[in-house]
Chain A
Amino acid sequence: QVQLVESGGDVVQPGQSLRLSCAASGFTFTSYGMDWVRQAPGKGLEWVAVIWSDGSTKYYADSVKGRFTISRDTSTNSLYLQMNSLRAEDTAIYYCARLTANWNFDYWGQGTLVTVSS
């Protein structure tokens, strides 16, 4: 069965960096685009970034462009999100999600919590 397991969430100070990981299993990783979606405490869903199945193309939400980098490692079936220059407003649960051919998300991980606070 499809499984997505995020890790790497932590409490960090503003301006610091953090790297999130998502371990994928149960499907052919190289056949799917992957995304990060976040949810601030008590708020709605916000798309963060997408990487295409072959890793050739990446897009970012304006709120994270220039600070966050999405990447993938096909040798370990892992998705990553490098987050630099973190701000208080980046505080959220970060989910990794599998992208379908219809540009929606059919499987989600349980999420990892990132807290940015001084």
Chain B
Amino acid sequence: EIVLTQSPGTLSLSPGERATLSCRASQSVVSTYLAWYQQKPGQPPRLLIYSASTRATGIPGRFSGSGSGTDFSLSISGLEPEDFAVYYCQQYGNSLFTFGPGTKVEI
């Protein structure tokens, strides 16, 4: 099973700043199968990025994903008040899905 580790656990930033979130895998991940989600309190997760770098439908351009192999990142340029949330990476491999533990982006 591929284990995903996210860092930092919590990121304290101000509106307008840039956020960079890391997702590291215990084994190489097929980039096509790496996704990022945003979750706000009391809501289900929302797909942000798939295939490591493709924004999902309706996702603003300030969200971008990159990486390959075992190291992936999600960047949010110019944080908006609605971006303060928890972010999860997720991968698929060997018929199993795994999520990272999440990074909380807080004010």
Residues of A with Cβ closer than 8 Å to B? Answer: 35, 37, 44-47, 50, 59, 61-62, 95, 100, 102-106, 108-111
Contacts and interface: CB of A to CB of B under 8 A. Distances in A.
In this complex, the interface size class of chain B, counting residues with CB under 8 Å from chain A, is: 20 to 34
A37 B88 CA distance: 13
A105 B51 CA distance: 12
Nearest to A103: B92
B contact face: mostly helix, strand, loop, or mixed: strand
A44 B103 CA distance: 10
B33 A44 contact: no
Contacts of B99: 37, 44-47
B60 interface: no
A95 B51 CA distance: 22
A108 B44 contact: yes
Nearest to B35: A104
Those 9 A-B pairs whose CB atoms lie nearest each other, nearest first: A103-B92, A104-B35, A108-B44, A47-B97, A45-B99, A59-B95, A103-B33, A104-B50, A44-B102
Interface in B48-99: 50-51, 56, 88, 90, 92, 95-99
Contacts of B45: 37, 45, 95, 105, 108
A35 B97 contact: yes
A50 B102 CA distance: 22
